Amino acid sequence: MIMGTMLLWPAAAVLGFLLCTAVVVALGASSTARYEHARAAAGQQAQRAAARASGTHPAGRRAAAAPAGGGDGPRRPQAVAVAVRPAEAPARPVVAAPGTAHAWWLVDEGAQVLAGPFDDRIDADWAALSGGLAAVSVYGAPRADGSVAPRPSPADRAWLAELGDQLDRLPEDWDALLTDTDPLTTLVVEVAAALVEAGLPLHDAAGAGTSGGVCLVPETASCGVLVSWRTHDRMGVQLSRGDAALEAVQELMDAALADTLAELGFVVQTFGASGVPLVTAVR
C-alpha cells in the first residue's frame, strides 16, 4: 500500500508537467499567427496608400471625379485609343518593260498588268489565287502603257496546228466550199474541233489512211454537215468480223457521235432513211 502511494505522486507530477507544456506551446503558436496576420494587413494598407499617393492603379489612371453639384461646366469626354487593323493596300500595277518576251501575265479589269511574267498559265493562276488578286491570266507581250498585247500561247499554237492537220483530212467535196465567208466552213471547223477535243479523230479521206475515224461530208441543201463513223478497213472492207458486226458497230458509233455533238452544243438531226446524224447549227 505504501509502495503504491509512493509511485502515484511522481506519475501525477510528470503528467501535470506535460499538460502545462502543451498549453504553453499552443498559446505561443496562436500569438505568433495573430502577429503574422496583423503584419501582413499593415503591409497591404501601406501599399494601397502609396498607390493612391502616386496616382497609379493596376487598371490605369482614372480622371478625378467631378465635384458634387455639377462643377464649373460639363464634363469633357475622355479620348480612348482604339486598335484598328490597317486596311490592305490594293494591288498596284506592275510596270513591265516593253519588248519583254512573250509570257503569261495577270491583268486587272482595265487590262493593266498586276503581276508577271510567268512561265505557264498554271503559275499565273496560282499566283492570283494565293495573292487574292482579282485578275485574269493573259499570254502576250507588255506594252508601254502597262497593258498586254495578247498573243496565242504555245498550247494554243500547238492545238491550232493539230486541228489544221485534222482538217486536211476532209474529203475533196469540201475543196470548193471552204471559204472564209461561208457559214458552212465555220460550222465544219467547229464540228471538227469538238470531235478532236473529244478524242475522235477525222478519217483521212484525202490520204491512204486505213485506221478509220469520223467522216464529215457537206450537205448543201440543208446547209449542214453529215457526220458518220468509218471503221478500220479490216472491218469495213475486209469484213473481218462479218456484215452483222459491221452494221452493229456502224449504228452504235453513229448514235454515239450524234449524242456527243448534241452534248457539246450542236443542233443534230437525222438525215435520210439511214439515220445519219446531220449537224445544222451551233446552239
* pLDDT tens sequence for the chain (283 residues): 455 555 565 666 666 666 666 655 555 555 555 656 566 665 555 555 554 544 444 444 444 444 444 445 555 545 444 333 333 334 454 555 555 678 999 998 888 898 889 988 899 999 999 888 888 999 998 888 888 889 999 999 999 999 999 999 998 888 887 777 788 999 999 999 999 999 999 999 877 777 899 999 999 888 899 999 999 999 999 999 999 999 999 999 999 999 999 999 999 999 988 889 999 999 8
How far, CA to CA in Å, does 47 sit from each of 54, 264, 280? 11, 85, 97
What is the model's pLDDT at position 210?
79
CA quadruple 26, 31, 37, 40: dihedral sign: negative
What is the model's pLDDT at position 64?
47
C-alpha span between 214 and 235 (Å, rounded): 15
What is the model's pLDDT at position 95?
52
What is the model's pLDDT at position 96?
53
pLDDT tens digits for range 187-212: 999 999 999 999 999 999 877 777 89
- The residues, any chain, with a CB within 8 Å of residue 50's CB and separated by 6 or more, are none
What is the model's pLDDT at position 175?
83
Question: Residue holding cell 480612348?
Answer: 80
C-alpha span between 140 and 151 (Å, rounded): 5
C-alpha span between 12 and 247 (Å, rounded): 131
C-alpha span between 119 and 95 (Å, rounded): 18
Question: Residue holding cell 503574422?
Answer: 36
What is the model's pLDDT at position 250?
92
